[in-house]
Amino acid sequence: MKFFLDTADLAEIEEAASWGAIAGVTTNPTLYARTGGKLSDFHNHIKRICEIVDGPVSAESVAMQRDEIVRDGLELADIADNVVVKVPTMVEGLAATHELARRGVPVNMTLCFSVPQALLAARAGARYVSPFIGRFDDISEDGLDQVSNIVGALSQYDFSDATVHGERIEVIAASVRSAHHVTQCALMGADIATVPFGVLKKMVQHPLTDRGLESFMKDWEKVQGA
């Protein structure tokens, strides 16, 4: 399983990249707004992320019509070789994904909440599909079940004829809110989990590691005092 960092915060990306733990980054309009960034700086900001991370960086189109999404997508793809255009799973998004894929631009279809949506994303030629977990949990439904169903359904078929470069579509488990979500996604075989920095930090932690470290440090003090 690979991990992407789900943030637009440059400091978080630099820190996580230094751990050698992340293979890519996903951003969305909310995450960019959280940095306090302006529209005029958006492309520069994505460029900076692409320089820090040696892997796919998802940048989202906020257009609603297929032609505008394609135009946005081509501009975003021009920023750097590792840009992936994020496109919402909707009719106009599917049409735009199909066109972008035809032109060799990798697309991450986002806001995916069902197996039929994921199957259509794969058919349209998406390179990645991002089912959301936490937002299901927010409405008291099981987001992990949906990811599991999507992983299972996509694995039944070969969609390589739909993508320009013939790669298999990869599932990015998104809207991840806990280390438990990551564990379950790994067990069900999701290709990637995109995690906020807070979740990445929790993934490193275990109380027994802390307790073990504490006792090692205490015992080492005894050795030094002897």
Sites of contact with ligand E4P (CB under 6 A): 6, 26, 28, 110, 130, 132, 134-135, 174-175, 194
Distance CA(73)–CA(116), nearest Å, equals: 24
The residue among 70 and 133 lying less far from ligand E4P, judged by its C-beta, is 133
The answer to whether the CB of 35 falls within 8 A of the CB of 9 is yes
The minimum distance between CB 28 and ligand E4P, in angstroms, equals 4
CB of 54 to ligand E4P, least distance (A): 19
Task: Compute the chain's Rg from CA coordinates.
Answer: 19
Residue 86 is among the residues annotated as catalytic for this protein: yes
Cβ 216 to ligand E4P shortest distance, Å: 36
Burial class for 164, CB neighbours closer than 10 Å (0-12, 13-18, 19+): middle
Give the nearer residue to ligand E4P in terms of CB position, either 30 or 219.
Answer: 30
Kindly tell me which of 31 and 80 has the beta carbon lying closer to ligand E4P: 31
Decide if 200 contacts 11 (C-beta within 8 A): no
Q: Minimal CB distance to ligand E4P: which residue?
A: 175
Neighbours of 30 (CB within 10 A): 9
CB of 118 to ligand E4P, least distance (A): 14
Q: Are strands 83-88 and 57-60 parallel, antiparallel or unpaired?
A: parallel
Determine which one of 2, 38, 47, 86 is catalytic.
86
Cα→Cα distances 100→57, 75, 89, Å? 16, 11, 14
Question: Contact, 126 vs 105, CB < 8 A?
Answer: no
The rounded distance, in Å, linking the Cα atoms of 134 and 199 is: 12
Residues 13 and 18: their CA atoms lie apart, in Å, by 9
Query: Considering beta carbons, is residue 148 or 194 the nearer one to ligand E4P?
Result: 194
Q: Which amino acid is at 42?
A: F
Q: 23 or 218: whose CB is closer to ligand E4P?
A: 23
Minimum distance, C-beta of residue 195 to ligand E4P, in the bound complex (Å): 8
Residues involved in catalysis: 86
